[in-house]
Amino acid sequence: MLYKIRHETRYTYSEDVSLSHSLVTCQPRSTDFQQCHWGETWIEPAPNHWDKRRDAQGNWIGYFSLEERHRLLTIVCRSQVEVQPRPIPLSSPVAWQEVVLSQPGLYQYCYPSPLTPFEDCWEYARSSFPKGASAWSGALDLMSRIHHDFRYLPGSTLVSTPVVQVMAQRKGVCQDFAHIMLAGLRAHGLAARYVSGYLLTTPPPGQARLVGADASHAWVSVWLPGPQGGGWVELDPTNNCLCDQRHVVLAWGRDYQEVAPVRGVVLGGGAQQVKVAVDVTPVEEPAG
């Protein structure tokens, strides 16, 4: 599948902003099953400085500084991405206890982060990981339980809402569900990373529209054992499914803070309003 993606973020301020420094996660990354053909970023007012580079995890990160006074900031990121079917993962009966701390090079994804504290999610996840259960069955069960136990309700949380509050109110958005699942997996010794991305806005014929379309989406990638050594498997707790060609990977990290679409600091501005619009449009490829 070939997609055109347009992601617009618009900030409106009640007072003048005199100085702004921002990081933008602006271009989908390429993976074994996904190729980003091109990406571009348009910013208004035009920044005094703009640069784009890869971070330590291979994500594309843009940096800009803006010294012109403004009350409206618009950031538009456009790209074209080709997504192939993900390899069908082959499960393994290896018990989750045997996978713990046996994953060299993945330790950064095994520890708590500011948005994935263990103490709030370990008890909830424990029933998915009884003694002797496979890492695979535990991960799938935890995904399914989050999908059924929590209500997807836009506006019920903010990016700053702690996991403990989401656990108490039993409602949130895809970002919250990903954080709960990450914390539960990591608390049981499994390496797991936060994946930010997009969902296809128009479903394929005969398939139901997925929750989270027309917006940024988030899911989980967990390292699971397999017959030939294992690898990363992407699970979407919001929709209770393995990720497929409808899921476009933007970036991955330990939690949302590391891959937020826009983050930074401003001088001035007063109160602010943020509006985000995302379009993922299939592109018809020319007949061979």
Span 128-175, pLDDT tens digits: 999 999 999 999 999 999 999 999 999 999 988 999 999 999 999 999
Domains of the chain: 2-84+260-282 (2.60.40.2250), 96-259 (3.10.620.30)
Span 85-105, pLDDT tens digits: 998 888 899 999 988 755 567
CB atoms within 10 A of CB 162: 15
Beta strands in the chain (DSSP E): 2-27, 34-44, 49-54, 60-66, 70-83, 151-152, 171-172, 192-199, 216-224, 231-236, 241-242, 247-253, 262-268, 272-282
The per-residue pLDDT for 105 is 72
Angstrom distance (rounded) from CA 65 to CA 257: 20
Residues 6+ apart with CB under 8 A from 125: 142, 183, 184, 185, 187, 188
SS3 141: helix
The per-residue pLDDT for 211 is 64
Span 220-279, pLDDT tens digits: 999 998 887 788 999 999 999 999 999 999 999 999 999 999 999 999 999 999 999 898
Asked whether the beta carbons of 111 and 78 are under 8 A apart, the reply is no
CB atoms within 10 A of CB 249: 23
Q: How confident is the model at residue 63 (pLDDT cuts 50, 70, 90)?
A: very high
